[in-house]
Amino acid sequence: MRNVIDPMAVTTSIRTLHSRRAARLLSRLRKRFDLTTELIPVGPLRILFTRVTDPKRVLNDLCDKIDAYERQTGQRVRGDELGLPYWAEIWDSSLGVGQWLIEHHRTQDLRLCRVLDLGCGMGLAGTVAAVLGAQVTFGDIERDALGFAALNGLRYSPHIQTRRMDWQTDDLRTTFDLILGADVLYEKSQWESLDRFVKNHLVPRGLVLFGEPGRITGQMWQQWIRDRGWELTQTYQHLPARTSPIRLFMLNRCLKKT
């Protein structure tokens, strides 16, 4: 007798598998951090999201570990080795990017769109993309950040993955339709690497979307990136808790010059 596969049973099995993975991630994170799980408003949506309760405590714990290491070894930790936990904050720029995704989804379906959340932190922007049906890759250099991003993304989609990556050196050997970055432009020393990375990982007609809270470096970056041949469009997202809007920079792969 031929075995008949029940599609509903397969779907249920897949959901159970991802629910168990999310439960394991949550258990692992609880052993290391104080967690808060809440509904975060992003435009008309409410995103169930787990985050670090007190980001300052994460920074203080890191400083204590560095201090103990330096006392024991007599060696100073270099600035580029500190691994400061910027990932433990929910930056307003990620809310701005998320709102744009929701509005963009009304005119262009994001389902099956390949999205990279670059420097994802705890993954809010990428989680919004997952809610909208995108196939999301969360990328960050910090493993702890990727644990949170995976947990938050898995609540809404099985089609997510995480990649530990350094945009200064890594080649993921794949491309994306949309690359997101929330507050990644604050260091001028990173601009060359970011430019090279997104050019190498964006499909020919793809889009890059960077959210930026209004820093002077963001203002300076606009002409800098135009000089590298990108077509730049600027728009704004207003957030309820901010007096000034989030700037959104959209880069088209259609290069003006090489």
Domain with 124 in it: what CATH number? 3.40.50.150
Q: What is the mean pLDDT of the chain?
A: 85
pLDDT reported for residue 55 = 86
C-alpha 95/C-alpha 58 separation (Å) is 22
* Structural domains counted in the chain: 1
**Closest-CA residue to 176 (of 138, 147, 228, 123):** 138
What is the pTM assigned to this prediction? 0.85
Mean pLDDT of 124-147: 96
In this structure, of 15-19, 80-84, 193-197, 229-233, the range with the lowest mean pLDDT score is 80-84
What would the pLDDT profile of 68-120 be if each residue is shown by its tens digit? Answer: 544 566 555 444 444 566 889 999 999 999 999 999 877 678 888 999 999 99
Mean pLDDT of 141-151: 95
- Reply yes or no on whether the pLDDT at 16 is more than 90: no
Q: What six digits make up the tokens of 30? A: 């609880």
Contact 148, 51 (CB under 8 A): yes
Q: Which domain holds residue 184?
A: 1-258
Residue 231 CB neighbour total at 10 angstroms:
13
